[in-house]
């Protein structure tokens, strides 16, 4: 299956003058793209443009060579979208809700019935299919959201901040589900939570202040940050000063003080040791380097 999404110099400015996107470029094929960035980076604006809900102010987006602003239906027929603010009708069962959305998407009745059952099974909700959505947990509602996005068996699946508010077990289940769904699809997973993507993303794009700071394999970003991740133990009385001076990814209270993991261009102080960066370190280093933390 051909599956090529190109974002070429895309910019977007809101009516109040705020520039949400500034010349964003991406070239994507099958796999899972982790779109990472702090709140306000422009991720959700880009997701809405890719889902044909907004038009870029400048630049263009093409799906298999077709400009989606000029011919949005070329993408919509092959698109699955789970927005950040996905809502359900609490009085409906999962099966009823998905059947309604299948009708909205224009699936033939027989195909819709089969596809609803298939998608419920894919997200592990077959046994809860006839329960009212009002009684579902946050994680179960997110799985219904993924099911509705899969009804038309899309080649492009976009999920925006899908794990906000989920407990650790539901978040882990969601990550496994996204990995299983990738296959020959292009899955774009937009989040500000590094752990949501480090185990599953085949490629990574980092955004901040409407600009793309990095696009490549996660290992490439970690390689760039090599030599800039440190572990350093400080007395508790110096913790506040360290937080003010350095970008700290984690801290651990120990008998000999507070063990910090941080990023810095040079040694933060006496006794600090350089360590191999993980993706959280590399992401933090990149934001710090661009003054975007």
* Residue 152: both structure tokens together: 């038309």
Q: What are the pLDDT digits (tens) for 142-180?
A: 889 989 999 999 999 999 888 777 788 888 888 888 888
Distances (CA, A) of 215 to 29, 86, 121, 219, 292: 13, 28, 34, 11, 16
Q: What are the pLDDT digits (tens) for 187-242?
A: 999 988 898 888 789 999 999 999 999 999 999 999 999 999 999 999 999 999 99
Q: What are the pLDDT digits (tens) for 234-279?
A: 999 999 999 999 999 999 999 999 999 999 999 999 999 999 999 9
- 92, 29, 13: which is closest to 62 by C-alpha? 29
Mean pLDDT of 35-61: 94
Rounded to the nearest integer, the mean pLDDT of the chain is 92
pTM for the full model? 0.90
Q: What are the pLDDT digits (tens) for 81-112?
A: 998 888 889 999 999 999 999 998 888 988 99
Which spans in the chain are helix H?
Answer: 43-50, 73-76, 94-104, 109-122, 138-150, 168-181, 195-198, 218-224, 239-245, 279-289
Q: Which residue has the tokens 């809900």?
A: 53
């Amino acid at each position: 299956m051909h599956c090529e999404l190109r974002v070429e110099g895309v910019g977007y400015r809101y009516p109040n003058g705020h520039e949400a996107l500034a010349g964003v470029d991406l070239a994507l094929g099958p796999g899972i793209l982790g779109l990472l960035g702090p709140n306000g980076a422009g991720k959700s604006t880009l997701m809405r443009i890719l889902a044909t809900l907004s038009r870029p102010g400048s630049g263009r987006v093409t799906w298999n060579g077709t400009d989606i602003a000029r011919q949005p239906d070329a993408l919509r027929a092959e698109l699955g979208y789970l927005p950040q603010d996905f809502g359900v009708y609490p009085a409906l069962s999962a099966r009823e809700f998905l059947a309604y959305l299948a009708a909205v998407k224009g699936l033939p009745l027989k195909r819709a019935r089969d596809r609803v059952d298939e998608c419920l099974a894919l997200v592990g909700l077959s046994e809860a299919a006839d329960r009212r959505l009002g009684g579902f947990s946050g994680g179960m509602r997110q799985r219904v959201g993924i099911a509705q996005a899969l009804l038309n068996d899309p080649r492009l699946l976009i999920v925006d901040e899908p794990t906000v508010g989920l407990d650790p077990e539901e978040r882990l289940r969601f990550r496994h589900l996204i990995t299983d769904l990738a296959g020959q699809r292009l899955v774009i997973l937009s989040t500000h939570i590094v752990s949501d993507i480090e185990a599953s993303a085949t490629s990574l794009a980092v955004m901040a202040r409407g600009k793309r700071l990095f696009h490549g394999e996660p290992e490439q970003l970690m390689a760039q940050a090599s030599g800039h991740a440190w572990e350093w133990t400080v007395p508790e009385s110096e913790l506040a000063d360290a937080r003010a001076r350095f970008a700290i990814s984690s801290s651990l209270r120990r008998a000999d003080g507070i063990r910090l993991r941080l990023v810095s261009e040079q040694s933060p102080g006496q006794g600090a040791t350089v360590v191999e960066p993980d993706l959280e370190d590399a992401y933090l280093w990149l934001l710090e380097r661009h003054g975007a933390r």
